[in-house]
Chains A and B, each alone.
Chain A
Amino acid sequence: MPKYNFTVNNKSVSVEADADTPLLWVLRDQLNLVGTKYGCGVAQCGACTIHYNGSPVRSCQFPVSAVGTGKVVTIEGLSEKGDHPVQQAWIDMDVAQCGYCQSGQIMAAVALLKKTPKPTDEEIDSAITNICRCGTSVRIRKAIHLAASKGGKL
Chain B
Amino acid sequence: MSTTSVSRRNFLRVSMITGGGMLVGFSTLAEDEKLPVDGTPFSPNAYIKIAPDGTITLMSPNPEIGQGVKTSLVMLIAEEMNVDWQKIQVEIAPLDTKYGSQTTGGSGAIRSRYTPLRQAGATARVLLIAAAADTWGVTAADCYADNGFVVHKTSGKKLSYGELAGKAASMPVPANVPLKDAKDFKLIGTRVKDVDAKAIVTGKPLFGIDTRRGGMLFAVVARPPAHGKKLQSFDDSAALQVTGVKKVVQVKNSIAVLATSTWAAMKGRKALNINWEDASKLESTADHDKAFKDLLSKPAATPNRNDGDVDAAMAAASKVLDVYYEVPVLSHAQMEPLNFYADVRDGKAELYGPTQVPQSLVTAVAKELNIPAANITLGLPRQGGGFGRKLRPDNGVEAALISQAAQCPVQVQWTREDDMQNDFYRASGMFRFKAAIKDGNLEAWQQSFACLSNGRSPDTYPAGAVKNLRIESHSLPTNIPTGPWRAPTHNVQAFANECFMDEVATELKTDPISFRLSLLKKAKEQPVGRLAYEPDKFISVIELVAKISNWNKPAPNTYRGFSTWFSFNSYVAQVVELKMEKGKPKITKVYCAVHCGKVVNLSGAENQVQGAVVDGLGHAMFTKLTFKDGAAVQTNFGPYNFVKMRNTPLDVEVAFVPSEENPTGLGEPGLPPIAPALANALFAATGKRFRRMPFSDDIQFA
Task: Give the interface of A toward B (CB within 8 A).
Answer: 1, 17-18, 21-22, 25, 28-30, 32-42, 44-45, 47, 74-76, 78-79, 82, 87, 90-92, 94, 96-103, 106, 121, 124-126, 128-141
Q: Give which listed residue, B260, B261, B607, contacts A139 with CB less than 8 A.
A: B607
Query: What separation, in Å, do the CA atoms of A78 and B203 have in the docked complex?
Result: 10
Q: Are A29 and B218 touching (Cβ within 8 A)? A: yes
Query: What separation, in Å, do the CA atoms of A136 and B267 have in the docked complex?
Result: 34
Query: What separation, in Å, do the CA atoms of A125 and B210 have in the docked complex?
Result: 30
Contacts of B336 in A (CB 8 A): 37, 39, 98, 100
Query: What separation, in Å, do the CA atoms of A92 and B337 have in the docked complex?
Result: 28
Q: Are A138 and B203 touching (Cβ within 8 A)? A: no
- By beta carbon, the residue of chain B nearest A79 is B202
Q: Give which listed residue, B197, B218, B611, B645, contacts A141 with CB less than 8 A.
A: B645
Q: With A98-B66, A129-B645, A133-B333 in contact, do A138 and B652 touch (Cβ < 8 Å)?
A: yes
Q: Is B476 an interface residue (CB 8 A)?
A: no
Query: What separation, in Å, do the CA atoms of A88 and B638 have in the docked complex?
Result: 31
Contact digits for B606-645, partner A, Cβ 8 Å, 1 yes 0 no: 0110111111001000000000000000001110001111
Query: What separation, in Å, do the CA atoms of A34 and B211 have in the docked complex?
Result: 9
Q: Is B312 an interface residue (CB 8 A)?
A: no
Q: Give which listed residue, B203, B212, B387, B651, contacts A103 with CB less than 8 A.
A: B203
In addition to A34-B209, A35-B204, A133-B333, 19 A-B residue pairs with Cβ atoms within 8 Å of each other are: A21-B263, A35-B202, A36-B203, A39-B337, A40-B637, A42-B636, A87-B202, A90-B200, A91-B197, A94-B603, A98-B335, A100-B66, A103-B203, A131-B642, A133-B642, A135-B610, A136-B607, A136-B611, A138-B650
Q: Are B210 and A34 touching (Cβ within 8 A)? A: yes
Query: What separation, in Å, do the CA atoms of A131 and B201 have in the docked complex?
Result: 16
Q: Give which listed residue, A21, A41, A102, contacts B201 with CB less than 8 A.
A: A102
Query: What separation, in Å, do the CA atoms of A96 and B611 have in the docked complex?
Result: 10
Query: What separation, in Å, do the CA atoms of A129 and B209 have in the docked complex?
Result: 23
Contacts of A133 in B (CB 8 A): 333-335, 385, 387, 615, 642
Q: Which 7 A-B pairs have the closest CB atoms?
A: A35-B203, A98-B66, A135-B614, A100-B384, A75-B203, A125-B646, A99-B200
- By beta carbon, the residue of chain A nearest B333 is A133
Scoring B610, B611, B645, B648 by chain A CB atoms within 10 A of each residue's CB, the highest score goes to: B645
Contacts of A22 in B (CB 8 A): 263
- By beta carbon, the residue of chain A nearest B644 is A129
Q: Are A97 and B68 touching (Cβ within 8 A)? A: yes
| A–B complex contacts, Cβ < 8 Å, 22 sampled | A34-B212, A38-B413, A39-B637, A41-B416, A44-B637, A76-B203, A78-B202, A87-B201, A94-B604, A98-B65, A98-B386, A99-B194, A100-B207, A103-B203, A121-B650, A125-B645, A129-B645, A131-B637, A133-B333, A133-B335, A135-B613, A135-B615
Contacts of A40 in B (CB 8 A): 416, 636-638
Q: Are B612 and A135 touching (Cβ within 8 A)? A: yes
Query: B455 → chain A, closest Cβ, in Å?
Result: 23
Q: With A29-B263, A132-B335 in contact, do A98 and B384 touch (Cβ < 8 Å)?
A: yes
Contact digits for B213-241, partner A, Cβ 8 Å, 1 yes 0 no: 00000100000000000000000000000
Q: With A38-B337, A100-B336, A137-B614 in contact, do A82 and B202 touch (Cβ < 8 Å)?
A: yes
Contacts of B415 in A (CB 8 A): 41
Contacts of A28 in B (CB 8 A): 262
Contacts of A136 in B (CB 8 A): 607, 610-611, 614
